[in-house]
Amino acid sequence: YLGAAASYRSLAVYGTALLLPLRWLDFNVKSNHQSALVSWTADQESRTARFGIERSVDGKRFEKIGNVSASNTGGVHRYQYNDEGFADIKSGTVYYRLAQVDTDGKISYSKIISIKKASQIKVVLYPNPVQDYSKVNFNLATAERVQILIVNAAGITVKTITVNGEAGTNNIGIGMNKLTAGNYLLKIRGNSFQDEIRFVR
């Protein structure tokens, strides 16, 4: 009888071990400036009811922004959540984490990931169509190095200018007299922003 009891005890422990905790295989976020796509892959989620998506702007205080139902089955499953509220955040670092909610109500959290949102800086080129001399106007929150490229219709960069942008309003003069008639693309980028403007010579 002692042997039978020992065998039963071993079987019970083995049965419990089969209920493995969920494994996070990956957790990522990417943005197109209008929204943020949060994606993750999980394994061993047979006891998971849903995933809560949480967002923070300081990495400490999180708010729930949505839920995604779990497959609640074995195997590997991939999920996505589109955070449209990302567009309302002005600039800075945005943090995300996932709350795994088990079928019994128990909650556990994923690691925290982040994405840096560039400030939305309005860039104006005038006049357009350009003349021999045009100006690029933009505002910066802080001083930073800014690069301006002019690309022709063939995708070739025909002019590059690098300036030290100042906090506040910037007006950068650009000589256009050597450009031949046609369509062009002005690309401007700094540490906190990037933009493109199509223009005609």
Residues 6+ apart with CB under 8 A from 154: none
Residue ranges per structural domain of the chain: 2-117, 124-200
Class of domain 2-117 (CATH, top level):
mainly beta
State the pLDDT at residue 72. 83
pLDDT tens digit sequence for 122-137? 789 999 999 999 999 9
Place of tokens 């019994």: 104
DSSP state of 17: H
State the pLDDT at residue 117. 77
pLDDT tens digit sequence for 54-85? 999 989 999 999 999 999 888 899 999 999 99
> Which CATH code is given to the segment(s) 124-200?
2.60.40.2550
DSSP state of 131: -
Task: Report the predicted TM-score, pTM, of the whole model to 2 decimal places.
Answer: 0.55
Beta partners for residue 113, in sequence order: 96
Nearest to 171 by CA among 124, 121, 137: 137
Structure tokens at 104: 């019994």
Q: Is there a common fold for 2-117 and 124-200?
A: yes
- Strand 48-56 and strand 92-102: the pairing is antiparallel
What residues in the chain have per-residue pLDDT under 50?
1-17
Query: Please, what is the average pLDDT of the chain?
Result: 86
What CA–CA distance (Å, rounded) separates 42 from 111? 13
